[in-house]
Structure 1
């Protein structure tokens, strides 16, 4: 035990003596720990459990009861909730509060609590219709400015609106609302919500959701509303959320069981983090070993055993790894805790500060283990060094192990075979796990690759020749740096190819039933007079713009129907709604006049733009409605060419639809017109009727560009590659000090010495980048299949981001070499042994 304490004391003194190198090692070990700890803490803090969100949902009430649409079958259980059936929520009559109070028992008190949306021009925002002054709503929303609404037409808004007391809100089809207060949601600072006792909530045509829309009540009950009373309330059409249910242990989420893919993914990530960190920190530990060779040789000469020397070097990793892990863990917890409220203001939710100690401590242990593992190879080298040769000032020769290249080749072949099998599996985690085998095999092969490439040194100019020969002579130091660069480059190249291929696949998968630049105006269930006013207003707002009419489909009972068909587009099953119109709309959809398509439409045939949707000259349609029975239709159709490459869809003539037993009514307008960014068209049309939707087709430009993400990956690779290369170059400069001193003594200019050092950086980063390119390309091509395919018959999309790869494979070595040129070249004369 005393030997360990002495080793730690020596490690502390050595770390303080070489503060720059110690800081570099701590950054390399601590940075992954800091990032992962911050992400874990951030995720835990931003995850709000049902108990943590109880006040925001219930306030001080005992229960919240939301009325389900008429005909809905509700069934709530501790392990989940299900409901089925029901019609449109807007047509459901409100249940009387007295009836609900009778179900809850004597002594119950209820206040209205309605959730929905408020139509503000073309924007829909969340809204609550309740009285925030009532004690039952205490804590549900916190007043930060002004006062709580008390009278009709008074509202409070959340701070995300940016409004102040005294401002006005103008809902569509209703009188203006006066903002009298600003409130905060306890867990969602980015929420845009309006709260008031008398809000004109807009009708919601979407599926009913008990937490998003519907009428209900907050209840103060004499007895807790437990699970034993839920069945009776569900039978009455009431969805229940109660304090007693939330605090019941049975309501906690059940463990989903062992997930093989998640476990493999976590294991792969851990191996990659440890591998890259060890390879990057290894040269820095080797620098310390080179500087301490004489000290260790003196300890061995005075009776120190090989175990003592190993303990001394491993103590460096234990001390620096432990210090880096401790500092990184503290900083990561602080960053995650402080960053959660900031991230929540951009979107999401935030709860009380929470640290997931088991995974955080596991990450800390991983960081400590990384420091120890990074020091193991230098420790073994220290135990095997020739003390006599070191004390005499001679550099010990490095002996190769003949079995290592065979082992590395076996690992690479096994990894390639596993990659071929993994690319056929769902999910990309298996490909990444197979890539780890390839990388481990290449790491083992790196010393052999360094020795083989060293045979080309004789054909190089003097500075590069000296650099390459020195790198080959010190293969243990060079191989670690080359392997680190290789691992980082392979990871970045694989991610780049996979991400860019996925982007191109999504871009190619983009499809629309309308050409780019088309404006669509759709009306809901309104009468003919309201439609006439809306059409006139649209023509006034768009002077000189030709408008093509589209038609709404209804059955004899007035139920609205949608005529849809399903087609596979770029491997994805896509459901389209067929439009109903005449030749004017056909000309807009095709971007030109097509005599054959126009003749087919006039003869009563459908015009289809999806070749895969046609079967024997027929188009299979499904007529579906939210309130009527579904029907299947097979209509005659012809194929035509659309205006855009990514456009699909179908156009049906009115006569064909009416022959199928449906009625048509003009309720849609189409035009080739692109509104400006500050256009008020949607707001102006909503003044005529709130049941209007305005949409403009913008094309695939809405797809997110992967370039920012790829360049961020390049930035991370730049830090790792340049940092690891400079650490190895610094070691090389220290090892080559006698040679460089001799060069200075015989009159070599300083630029020659700098060129030798830069040659080391170019060799290390260039060889690592080249091998990493090969490994990353194999993995990236394998990733394209699980990332871009959606079925057995869907081919993979392969896209290569050439500028990104050039920047990684060529730009990074050039930058590393340029950074190495800054190395100080002037050295004093050194004593040489003859």
Structure 2
């Protein structure tokens, strides 16, 4: 222990003496630790999130109930009661009478409403509660404006403002809510806690009538009360209130429950092992050359210790003390920085997420584990230089001679076995969990790290015909494997990760789109503008803007949907029994559904051809159905729903007509049919049929720009095939590659230049030109960067392809702008694309840039040999 203490004092003195090198090592070890701790604390350790249906805040309980619920059974979170639409809810006085004497209650309500904004209609969750009451404290945080103080006032959620159409609803805007168009003025912006459903708006009590929130519902707490009780509400109180018909979520009961332990915690730790190991390997390989620089600069100090009786074990202890000192200090600083950064970043993360994350709890056990891994990384990075220091010849060092120890190329058998096993496992992991791919890729990288000295020896043997700088650099690399191998391995490890991510990303771009909006939404060449939430006035402005850009006489096809007399679109579901068509259920009453209303132009657009028989049927008041199989005895039965519930099914005379190619609706009826059955219509889409006019790209861009200026609630697009945009891929991975590859290469090149000083002195003595030093340093950088990049690119293809072959998308239902309900197919995992620009950057551009950088930042004057007095 006394020797270790002395070694740590020596390390501390040398660390303070070489401040820049010390700062570099601290950054190499501390930054990964800080990033890992930040991710754990900021992203995966959020606490205080309400698990119940309605956030309790500072209340003692939240209750709801109805006459007829007596004798119900619930769990601690209020689940277990099935409500009926005709249940009569308790009044506030009745609820107060059932609670403990001295209890105070305030009403809360929640429901989905359609409301009118200056840019069109929206549908969102509205919570009605007095946010000023102390019981609401903790469920929100006001970020702008003020709280509502009277009926007709509301705050909007920050999550709502983060959306693309956010400018439409800001403080000062008046909204018209519900069928009765009740005015509600927005007076502030707030972040709300993450509960079952976050509200879009929070209104003051009395802004909307209680019956507007629908029937009482225990699951959603649609009509409930917050309770301020003089004593904690115990489980016995809950059972007593259950017997009287109240559903209760009590703070005391919830606080008494055991903390949630994620059932997959062990599984998550196991899945994290390969990623932690890869990070640890990268830190060791990156910091190793920096410790080697320190060992080289302190070689005289080590030699003096040796000649004064120090054993090789003493020398290893002194060198390893560097790793221990830097590991402990860097890990402590990194962990502290990660925790502090997570706390400071909480407001920004909350604003980006649009929700209140609640109090933070630092996972100290995980933080300590990461810090220990940082210390281990420091010790492993200092291990090779420590062994080299213990083997150095002190007489040769003190006499100024550079004596190179015997360095074996090692046995390549272990490396070959690991590479073969890892590659085989990587190929087999395709289609399985990504953790298996990461684990197998880690095995491959460990094998390649073991084979790097063999690669260096092979490069040196084939460098005989190269120019002097490259020949010298190759042979210098193989003579100093202990310094060069970690640098090449560090570059290789980074390039493997970058290549794997690039192959996966490029393959995903080449596969079918991951989002519904990426699939064709109209026939090729069509220009469409969709906006089921626009008002008639906004549609008139959009029509005028579109017609200004189109030639005279080009028809503008209009698709309309069924709507109530007040103008609210209703959902019309047309059955589809075709076995070749995906059948899905869609419950939202705020979209068009499968039925479009329009004239002969719309019918021709939908069918993709002129059909006189279909036109005649449309004029006769029949529904034209694109799947004849659903027409029963000449009639079509359509399910109709709206905001307030289901309506009687609509039965229409119908005729079945097959479309040419893909049909762009399921059924079309004339406006007169809708009016005859008691429905109004609302515009849902405008289309320029490519059969009438092919809109040029420049014209379409102008139309889209005009529509976006008018309203953010409309979507406009020219339906033309577009190649996947890989600009972001190249930008992100290119920057990462430049930082990692060039940074590692320059550190290793600086070390190589220090060790090559005697050789450069010899070159100067025999008359080498000043530019020779620049060329030699450039050659050293080129060898390190090129060998690491080539090996990393080749090794990165297998994990990238394996991850790209995994299924990343699932069939999802969505409504196209034409009202057609459809599904997105699975992504085609057989498509594999190689990001050749990224590969060229890694194999050509970055090695050349590293060589140029090494030459540019090296002094051209060669050092003169020093005379030594014997």
SS of residue matched to 1:458: coil
Q: In the TM superposition, what is the alpha-carbon distance from 1:159 to its structure 2 partner? A: 8.2
- Shift of residue 781, structure 1, vs aligned partner: 0.8
1:519 aligns with 2:545: no
Task: Look up the match of 1:528.
Answer: none
More moved, 808-817 vs 194-203 = 194-203
Which among 404, 417, 421 is matched to residue 424 of structure 2?
417
Q: Distance in 2 between matches of 1:374 and 1:569?
A: 61
Match of 1:114 in 2: 109
Question: Secondary structure at the residue paired with 2:859?
Answer: coil
Tell me which of 290, 296, 304 is aligned to 1:298: 304
Q: CA deviation at 1:499?
A: 2.3
Q: SS of the counterpart of 2:263?
A: coil
1:588 aligned to which of 605, 611, 615: 605
Cα separation, 2, equivalents of 1:535 and 1:586? 23
How many Å apart are 1:450 and its aligned residue? 0.7
Q: Which moved more, 1:472-481 or 1:762-771?
A: 472-481
| 3-state DSSP of counterpart to 2:793 | helix
Select 1:667's aligned residue among 676, 681, 686: 681
Which whole-Å CA distance do the structure 1 matches of 2:188 and 2:537 have between them? Answer: 39
Indicate the residue corresponding to 2:375 in structure 1: 368
8 Å CA contact 2:116–2:122 kept in 1: the answer is yes
Aligned to 2:865: 830
Question: Superposition pairs for residues 420-431 of structure 1, below 5 Å?
Answer: 420-425=427-432, 427-431=433-437
Matched position secondary structure for 2:487: helix
RMSD: 4.9
Cα distance in structure 2, aligned partners of 1:793 and 1:343: 31
> Aligned with 1:256: secondary structure?
coil
Deviates more, 1:815-824 or 1:436-445: 815-824
Deviations 1:24-62 (A, max 9, x none): 2111111101111222222367543449x99x9435432
Structure 2 length as normaliser, TM-score?
0.77
Q: What pairs with 1:706-717 in structure 2 (closer than 5 Å)?
A: 707-708=727-728, 711-717=731-737
Partner of 1:652: 667
Deviations 1:460-486 (CA, angstroms, capped at 9, x unpaired): 112111111111211221111111100
Whole-Å separation in 1 of the counterparts to 2:89 and 2:519: 41
**Native 8 Å contact 1:117 1:124 kept in 2:** yes
Q: CA 1:153/1:9 → structure 2, altered by over 3 Å: closer, same or farther?
A: closer
Q: Could you list the per-position Cα deviations for residues 59-104 of structure 1 after superposition, in whole angstroms to 9, with x for gaps in the alignment?
A: 54322235699999997424784676766xxx98754333434444
Could you tell me how far apart the structure 2 residues matched to 1:701 and 1:36 are? Answer: 41
Equivalent in the alignment of 1:171: 176
The superposition leaves residues 565-594 of structure 1 with CA deviations (integer Å, 9 ceiling, x where unpaired) of 599999x9976853355653343346x535
> Corresponding residue for 1:742?
762
Hey, what's the Cα distance between the residues in 2 that align with 1:823 and 1:141? 58
Compared CA separation, residues 578 and 142, structure 1 to 2 (3 A)? closer
CA distance in structure 1 between the partners assigned to 2:213 and 2:460 by the alignment? 72
CA distance in 2, matches of 1:448, 1:573: 59
Distance 1:559 1:520, change over 3 A: closer
Contact 2:510 / 2:724 at 8 angstroms: preserved in 1?
no
Q: 2:784 aligns with which of 737, 740, 764?
A: 764
Distance 1:3 1:635, change over 3 A: farther
SS in 1 for 2:511: helix
Distance 1:365 1:125 in 2: 48
The answer to whether the 8 A contact 1:567-1:574 is kept is no
Residues 604-623 of structure 1, C-alpha deviations (whole Å, 9 max, x = no match):
874379xxx99xxxxx9996
| 1:272-283 equivalent positions in 2, closer than 5 A | 272-283=278-289
Matches within 5 A, 1:785-800: 785-788=805-808, 795-800=829-834
Look up the match of 1:807: 841
Q: Distance in 1 between matches of 2:573 and 2:70?
A: 22
Indicate conservation of the 8 Å contact 2:78/2:219, yes or no. no
Greater alpha carbon shift after TM alignment, 788-797 vs 759-768: 788-797
Aligned to 2:91: 96
Distance 2:829 2:476 in 1: 48
- Contact 2:105-2:228 at 8 Å conserved across structures: yes
- Does 1:755 pair with 2:771? no
Cross-structure match for 1:18? 18
1:450 aligns with 2:460: no
User: Are residues 482 and 566 of structure 1, via their aligned partners in 2, closer, same or farther at CA, if it must alter by over 3 Å?
Assistant: farther
- Measured after TM superposition, the shift of residue 506 of structure 1 is 5.1
Q: 1:476 to 1:663 in 2, by over 3 A?
A: farther
Counterpart residue number, 2:739: 719
Going from structure 1 to structure 2, the CA distance change for 1:155 and 1:535 (only over 3 Å counts) comes to: closer
Deviation by residue 1:628-671 (Cα, 9 ceiling, x = unmatched): 8999x9996735324xxxxx75423559xx9xxx9795635332
Q: Report the counterpart of residue 687 of structure 1 in structure 2.
A: none
Preserved contact between residue 512 and residue 828 of structure 2 (Cα < 8 Å): no
1:529 aligned residue: none
Q: What's the CA shift for 1:220?
A: 3.3
Q: Which residue of 2 aligns with 1:562?
A: 573
Given that 1:310 and 1:383 are in contact with CA atoms closer than 8 Å, whether structure 2 keeps it comes out as: yes
What is the aligned partner in structure 2 of residue 690 from structure 1? none
Q: Would the aligned equivalents of 1:754 and 1:824 in 2 still touch at CA under 8 Å?
A: yes
**Deviation digits for residues 427-472 of structure 1 (CA, Å, limit 9, x no counterpart):** 2111111100110110001100111111221121121111111112
C-alpha distance in 2 between matches for 1:279 and 1:69: 70
Deviations 1:401-433 (A, max 9, x none): 542x111000001101211221132x2111111
Q: Is the 8 A contact 1:117 1:202 kept in 2?
A: no
What are the Cα deviations for residues 245-296 of structure 1, in whole angstroms up to 9, with x where unaligned?
Answer: 332225x424414553x23321011110110111111111112222233332
Residue 501 in structure 1 maps to residue 491 in structure 2:
no
Shift of 1:233: 6.0
Q: What are the ranges of 5 or more consecutive residues in structure 1 without an aligned counterpart?
A: 525-533, 615-619, 643-647, 684-692
Q: State whether residues 514 and 589 of structure 1, in contact with CA within 8 Å, keep that contact through their aligned partners in structure 2.
A: no
Over 3 Å counting, the alpha-carbon distance change for 1:698 and 1:738 in structure 2 is same
Find the partner of 1:728 among 740, 745, 748: 748
- How far apart are the structure 1 equivalents of 2:841 and 2:209? 54
**Residues 269 and 97 of structure 1: CA distance in aligned 2, closer, same or farther (over 3 Å):** same
Q: 1:415 touches 1:436 (CA, 8 Å); kept in 2?
A: yes
Q: CA deviation at 1:562?
A: 1.7
Whether the aligned pair in 2 keeps the contact of 1:68 and 1:239 (CA below 8 Å) is no
**Does the CA contact (< 8 Å) of 2:437 and 2:803 recur in 1?**
yes
**CA separation in 2, counterparts of 1:811 and 1:350?**
44
Alignment CA distance shift 1:598-1:757 (3 Å): farther
Q: What secondary structure is seen at the aligned counterpart in 1 of 2:63?
A: strand
Of residues 321, 332, 337 in structure 2, which corresponds to 1:331?
337
- 1:467 is matched with which residue? 473
Gaps of 5+ in 2: 162-166, 548-554, 587-592, 631-635, 689-702, 812-825
Question: CA 1:706/1:199 → structure 2, altered by over 3 Å: closer, same or farther?
Answer: farther
Q: 1:171, 1:457 → 2: CA distance?
A: 79
CA contact (8 A) 2:514 2:827 kept: no
TM-score by length of 1: 0.80
Q: Is the 8 A contact 1:155 1:197 kept in 2?
A: no
* 1:13–1:569 Cα change, 3 Å: farther
CA 1:19–1:579: 2 relative to 1, 3 Å: same
Matches within 5 A, 1:594-605: 595=611
> Number of aligned pairs?
782
2:249 equivalent to 1:241: yes
The alignment partner of 2:260 has SS state of coil
Q: 1:704 to 1:139 in 2, by over 3 A?
A: farther
